[in-house]
Amino acid sequence: DGGITQSPKYLFRKEGQNVTLSCEQNLNHDAMYWYRQDPGQGLRLIYYSQIVNDFQKGDIAEGYSVSREKKESFPLTVTSAQKNPTAFYLCASSIGGGIEQYFGPGTRLTVT
Amino acid sequence: GQQVMQIPQYQHVQEGEDFTTYCNSSTTLSNIQWYKQRPGGHPVFLIQLVKSGEVKKQKRLTFQFGEAKKNSSLHITATQTTDVGTYFCAGKHDTDKLIFGTGTRLQVFP
């Protein structure tokens, strides 16, 4: 059953803690992306990776970090430096850049 | 920077009425894609347009790409309650990133 998975679905953290969101895909896609969505808003690109061991900052990378050690996995760490971390985080993958993207179910992060 | 704007932000229609959302880019696009996000869900790819002036149809949905490849529209004929959700356009410029529009939230009343 091919697809892209994110875990957990809901995540609660205290302010000042780092938290890592998981994203795994078995679609054999080279490109992976992390977006942030705030209530009633569009999608803003945090980081993206076109190939293993390489990634680029998106429009709102400050306070976030990523790694791409395996083709299947692209975890996102929300650090304590991120001023407003509470949001809906979406991971996506695609065969290549600018091609249709497949989205995971998302993780709703709440930081109090 | 590169931006993709969508209007309207919200649209409420009676079931059976038509609906249109418009997408405008500040720069020429290589392609434009449309996604639908149901309430509480994640975006799902609908279609991609590549050629200037291209028109594609999916049942009651009609997608257009402008002649200048800077704007696009999605038109739904005779809306149904299953059409409820937020519709996003996403444009590819000269990089490998997609720039997502701000989205149009559609509500359909039975």
> What pLDDT does residue A71 have?
97
> What pLDDT does residue A41 have?
81
> What pLDDT does residue A2 have?
65
Please tell me if residue A96 touches chain B, with a CB cutoff of 8 Å. Answer: yes
How crowded is the C-beta side of A75, counted as CA atoms within 13 Å?
13
pLDDT digits (tens, 9 = 90+) for B33-44: 999 999 999 999
The per-residue pLDDT string of chain B (110 residues; one tens digit each, 9 = 90 and over) reads 678 999 999 999 999 999 999 999 989 999 999 999 999 999 999 999 999 999 999 999 999 999 999 999 999 999 999 999 999 999 988 777 889 999 999 999 99
Second-level CATH architecture of B4-109: Sandwich (2.60)
> What pLDDT does residue A97 have?
76
> What pLDDT does residue B88 have?
97
CA dihedral defined by B61, A27, B105, A21, rounded to 10 degrees? 180
β-strand partners of B109: B14
> What pLDDT does residue A93 have?
96
What is the distance in angstroms between the Cα of B89 and the nearest Cα belonging to chain A?
A: 10
Instruction: Return d(Cα B33, Cα B31) in angstroms, integer.
Output: 7
Burial of A94 (0-12, 13-18, 19+ CB in 10 A): buried
> What pLDDT does residue B1 have?
64
B42: nearest CB among A45, A99, A105? A105
B88: nearest CB among A43, A45, A97? A43
Instruction: Return d(Cα B95, Cα A54) in angstroms, integer.
Output: 16
Ranges under pLDDT 50 in chain A: none
A98: nearest CB among B88, B92, B101? B92
Please tell me if residue A30 touches chain B, with a CB cutoff of 8 Å. Answer: no
- For chain B, the structural domain boundaries read 4-109
> What pLDDT does residue B96 have?
75
Question: Which residue of B6, B48, B100 is the best one to mutate when testing the A interface, meaning the one whose CB has the most A CBs within 10 A?
Answer: B100
Chain position carrying tokens 């803003």 = A44
